[in-house]
């Protein structure tokens, strides 16, 4: 097992799917299709378009077959991933642009399709939102499959592993992950990827540990190397020593015991040891996530990111299409609340196929996005607001605006909302006339004027991801300065406290829906600062609920008070981590 003469190497990545695995490595290399480039004779151009259409049909059949196999082996929820792939094949903008480029250039259809799909992939790759950025992977996966069919090439596959193996790859496409031999895959490790990639979703479904973002791991290991994959702490240990193997055997036993405690706590109410109830809600992007929300017994949806509806299509969805989607979510969660965030689109989240709406910006994070985009494109905004209002007749809906910078923007948005209410009344369309309206606090100017915004808001939700980014002037997706992105920076804590105090003085509740809300290490700090509720990815709910039930609110307030007197972000984090570990058996 342990190779003599080889030193143990520990490589850090991001935890994506929990669990521990030990075994030999299989390095999976998937190269891009090499696309020929040539001129097509005029008398063969009709046949060339026919060849493209035939490849699209073949690709659709292949993906449908994969979807069926995934549904049989893993369940219908996991199979829904491939609906996005089928939608790519029906995207008339993508297909139409390919044919138009072919007609204008006369170059072979593979070249034209490669050019057009690459533009789409590039547009989605530049989106800041991690989940939506994964759409680039959908298009890339489908595009590679179409090109393989056009060129008559066989697809790469992970369906036949020689034996039980840890799969190590630069990245794993959704199709490749669907083909993984479940009986032989021990773990998944990738150079790139993210916690929200389809491969990771598959790994979680198969209960296979996964670590992503392990840079250059494909160059540091070779086939047959022995390794430990720690899906809890996000590390891969290459050539582990006997001592490390023994230690991880013990850790694995403890983790399994702890996971059973989490699941048990998940069925209990989120109440602290001193009797304080805490609202724990879920963040979602898609209707398909509703089952997870129910399984993990969230108190409702604290953040419904609606831009997925727009980014999953080359055209703006109609009012009716949006209404039917929102209605499905609202009815499924009733009587629990659903907070629907209005469109956070534009800037770093452009819609492929709509370049006129989304001109390129030098600094998209501070560009025409979210509420700014909506106040410019009022008809698009009104379609969405009417759809949200209509859905409010079917359950408890709350409306939230993103990226509000001050009172003037809030007043303009609310004025448009009132216009929509009048229009629906004229149609005799029912809706909740007392629908509660709130704002995301994610810009420093909003944090500094929370008292003014509170006059026109029924609730606030703090988007810590952007708030920290803007407060500290740190681009959180820039690897060179990622270490400066510190949630425990004193400036962040002071700002959070200022927001909560100003809101509570006005009688307005405050929740947190950013990444901090789903991290059990930060939860006591947030609650101690006075936050009323937390909203997170559904999978994090058991861990957070377990911690809430293992602590007192009095201790959380004492932790926050002490943290407010400290000056070092690292020391504050260490204090929070010690608080967490004292109450939760994770060792």
Catalytic residues: 198, 513
Phi, psi of 573, deg, nearest 5: -60, -45
Could you tell me the CA-to-CA distances from 67 to 4, 64, 174, 453, 542 in Å, in that order? 44, 5, 11, 47, 29
Could you tell me the CA-to-CA distances from 112 to 94, 329, 336 in Å, in that order? 11, 39, 49
Q: Which two tokens stand for residue 189?
A: 């490790």
Three-state DSSP class for residue 313: coil
Query: What CA–CA distance (Å, rounded) separates 563 from 412?
Result: 38
**Sign of torsion over alpha carbons 194, 195, 198, 204:** positive
Q: Is residue 452 reached through a cis peptide bond, with omega within 30 degrees of 0 on the bond before it?
A: no
Please answer whether residues 510 and 530 qualify as being in contact, where contact means their C-beta atoms are separated by less than 8 angstroms. yes
Query: What CA–CA distance (Å, rounded) separates 272 from 263?
Result: 17
CA triplet 348, 174, 316: central angle to 5 degrees?
Answer: 40
Cβ within 8 Å of residue 34, ≥6 positions away: none
Could you tell me the CA-to-CA distances from 526 to 301, 483, 484, 531, 540 in Å, in that order? 19, 21, 20, 6, 16
Query: What CA–CA distance (Å, rounded) separates 2 from 449?
Result: 60
Q: Which two tokens stand for residue 128?
A: 């800041």
Query: Nearest-CA neighbor of 450 among 489, 494, 490, 415?
Result: 494
Could you tell me the CA-to-CA distances from 315 to 91, 201, 381 in Å, in that order? 9, 27, 14
Residue 39 is given by DSSP the state B
Could you tell me the CA-to-CA distances from 118 to 98, 431, 449 in Å, in that order? 11, 43, 43
SS3 content of the chain, % helix, strand, coil (to 5): 50, 15, 35
Rg of the chain (C-alpha set): 25
Residue 449 is given by DSSP the state T
Query: What CA–CA distance (Å, rounded) separates 563 from 126?
Result: 36
Please answer whether residues 46 and 191 qualify as being in contact, where contact means their C-beta atoms are separated by less than 8 angstroms. no
Query: What CA–CA distance (Å, rounded) separates 3 from 239?
Result: 7
CA triplet 145, 131, 373: central angle to 5 degrees?
Answer: 110
Q: What is the per-residue burial (b if ≥16 Cβ within 10 Å, else e) of 270-283?
A: bebeeeeebbbbbb
Query: Nearest-CA neighbor of 207 among 427, 364, 18?
Result: 18
Residue 32 is given by DSSP the state P
Q: Is 476 exposed, middle or buried (0-12, 13-18, 19+ CB in 10 A)?
A: middle
């Amino acid at each position: 097992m342990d190779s003599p003469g080889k030193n143990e190497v520990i490589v850090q990545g991001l935890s994506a799917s929990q669990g521990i695995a030990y075994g030999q490595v299989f390095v999976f290399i998937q190269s891009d299709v090499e696309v020929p480039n040539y001129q097509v004779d005029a008398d063969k151009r009709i046949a060339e378009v026919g060849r493209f259409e035939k490849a699209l049909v073949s690709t659709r059949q292949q993906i449908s077959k994969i979807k069926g196999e995934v549904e049989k082996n893993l369940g219908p929820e996991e199979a829904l991933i491939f609906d996005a792939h089928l939608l790519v094949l029906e995207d008339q903008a993508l297909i139409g642009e390919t044919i138009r480029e072919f007609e204008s250039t006369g170059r072979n259809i593979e070249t034209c399709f490669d050019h057009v799909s690459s533009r789409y992939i590039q547009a989605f790759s530049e989106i800041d939102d991690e989940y939506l950025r994964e759409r680039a992977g959908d298009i890339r996966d489908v595009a590679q499959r179409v090109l393989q069919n056009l060129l008559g090439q066989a697809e790469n596959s992970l369906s036949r592993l020689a034996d039980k193996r840890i799969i190590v790859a630069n990245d794993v496409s959704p199709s490749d992950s669907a083909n993984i031999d479940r009986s032989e895959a021990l773990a998944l490790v990738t150079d790139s990827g993210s916690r929200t990639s389809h491969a990771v979703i598959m790994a979680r479904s198969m209960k296979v540990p996964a670590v992503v973002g392990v840079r250059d791991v494909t160059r540091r290991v070779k086939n047959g190397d022995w390794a430990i994959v720690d899906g809890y702490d996000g590390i891969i240990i290459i050539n582990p020593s006997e001592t490390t193997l023994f230690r991880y055997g013990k850790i694995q036993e403890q983790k399994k015991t702890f996971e059973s405690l989490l699941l048990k706590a998940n069925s209990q109410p989120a109440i602290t040891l001193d009797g304080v109830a805490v609202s724990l809600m879920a963040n979602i992007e898609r209707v398909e996530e509703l089952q997870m929300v129910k399984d993990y017994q969230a108190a409702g949806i604290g953040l419904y990111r609606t831009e997925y509806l727009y980014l999953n299509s080359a055209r703006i969805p109609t009012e009716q299409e949006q209404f039917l989607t929102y209605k499905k979510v609202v009815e499924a969660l009733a009587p629990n609340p659903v907070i629907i965030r209005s469109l956070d689109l534009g800037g770093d989240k452009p819609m492929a196929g709509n370049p006129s709406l989304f001109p390129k910006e030098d600094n998209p994070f501070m560009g025409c996005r979210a509420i700014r985009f909506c106040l410019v494109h009022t008809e698009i905004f009104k379609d969405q607001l009417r759809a949200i209002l209509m859905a409010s007749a079917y359950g408890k809906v709350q409306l939230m605006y993103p990226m509000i910078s001050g009172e003037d923007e809030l007043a303009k948005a609310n004025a448009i909302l009132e216009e929509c209410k009048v229009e629906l009344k004229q149609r005799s369309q029912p809706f909740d006339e007392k629908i509660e309206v709130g704002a995301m606090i994610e810009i420093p100017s909003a944090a500094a004027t929370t008292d003014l915004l509170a006059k026109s808001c029924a609730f606030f939700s703090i988007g810590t991801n952007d708030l920290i980014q803007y407060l500290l002037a740190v681009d959180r997706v820039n690897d060179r300065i990622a270490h400066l992105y510190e949630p425990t920076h004193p400036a962040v804590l002071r700002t959070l406290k200022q927001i909560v105090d100003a809101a509570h003085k006005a009688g307005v509740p405050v929740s947190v829906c950013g990444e901090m809300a789903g991290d059990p290490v930060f939860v006591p700090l947030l609650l101690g600062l006075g936050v009323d509720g937390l909203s997170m990815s559904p999978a994090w709910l058991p861990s957070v609920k377990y911690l809430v039930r293992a602590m007192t609110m009095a201790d959380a307030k004492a932790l926050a008070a002490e943290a407010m007197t400290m000056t070092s972000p690292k020391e504050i984090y260490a204090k929070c981590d010690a608080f967490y570990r004292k109450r939760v058996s994770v060792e």
